[in-house]
Amino acid sequence: MPSTQQPPIAGAVVDPTSVRPPIDDATIERVDVHGVRARLEALKAEGYTMLLDLAGVDYLPRSPRFDVVYHLLKMPTAAASVQQVGAPQRFRLLCGVNDGEAVPSAIDLWPNADWAEREIFDLFGITFSGHADLRRIQMPYDWVGHPLRKDYPLRGPAQERSPRPSFGLKSNVLAGTPPSGRTLEALQEQVKKARAADRPEAERDGLAGGEPT
């Protein structure tokens, strides 16, 4: 029963990718943000012709804070049979990047990095230098914040919760939205006001005794 015998790691400070030998068939390598471009170029030249996917991970207290993960595949670029394709080699390049740092774009090496980088920018707020069209892709253009960051609340920022945002605007920064009254601060404020307005206990008990109002 391998699942439960290891004690859990307190918090997410430890980088989970480094505590365990690789369990899939990819070659794994870690680079920093300055070396990533050269490494990607070298890998492309080595024959990793396909960028399978680009994933972002936020390890919040860690520095560098984010990982941008490149999944590469060594594929033939002309028609090939099953035997010729075989089991193409996989490569996983993990690039640590801090908040505010820009990762060099891979769009000229693999054009499909376009949407993948836009998605990471949208959901993590990591910028890519050299990307000509870096705008949001999943979230609405006027959205504030980057939802897949670990410090972004699951249900979104408080002002969006109530009233229900209109589907037409698809936005969390509605101009003129009345204060929701459901944020924690507002709730505390409300409780404080209610307490201040409340009469002393004895008096209230007296009122409860049956005095007509």
Partner 1 sequence: MSLSTQPLTPEIVSQEGNAMVLSMGPQHPSTHGVLQIMLEIEGETIVKAEPEIGYLHTGIEKNMENLFWSHGQTNAERMDYLAPSSNALCYALAVEKLLGITDQIPERAQHIRVLQGELTRIASHCVWLGTHAIDIGAISVFFYCFDLRENILDLQEAAGGARMHPNYIRIGGLNGDLPDGYLDKLDALIAKFPGRMRDLRGLLQANPIFQDRTIDVGVITAQQAIEWGVTGPALRGSGIAYDVRKAYPYSGYDRYQFDVPTRTDGDAYARFLVRLDEMEESLRIISQVRKDLNTPGPVAIDDPKVFPVPKETIALSMEALIHHFKIVSEGFRVPPGDVYSPIEGPRGEVAFYIVSNGENRPYRARLRPPSLYNLQCLKGMAPGNLIADLVVMIGSLDPVFGEVDR
Give the binding site for partner 1 (CB under 8 A).
1-4, 6-9, 12, 14, 16-17, 19-20, 23-26, 49-53, 55-58, 69, 71, 75-82, 84-88, 90, 92, 110-112, 114-115, 132-133, 135-141, 147-148, 152, 154
User: Could you give the 3-state DSSP secondary structure of residue 128?
Assistant: strand
Among 63, 66, 69, which Cα is nearest to 150's? 66
Give me the least distance between CB of 140 and partner 1, in Å please. 8
Q: How far is the CB of 101 from partner 1 (least distance, A)?
A: 19
User: Beta partners for 53?
Assistant: 71
Pull the structure tokens for residue 80: 């090939």
Least separation in angstroms between CB 139 and partner 1? 7
Rounded to an integer, what distance in angstroms lies between the CA atom of residue 26 and that of residue 143?
Answer: 36
Looking at the DSSP bridge assignments, the partners of residue 27 are 91
State which residue, 137 or 186, has the beta carbon closest to partner 1. 137
Complex with partner 1: residue 111 or 163, whichever CB lies closer: 111
**C-alpha to C-alpha distance for 95 and 31, rounded to whole angstroms:** 5
Nearest to partner 1 of 34, 170 (CB atom): 170
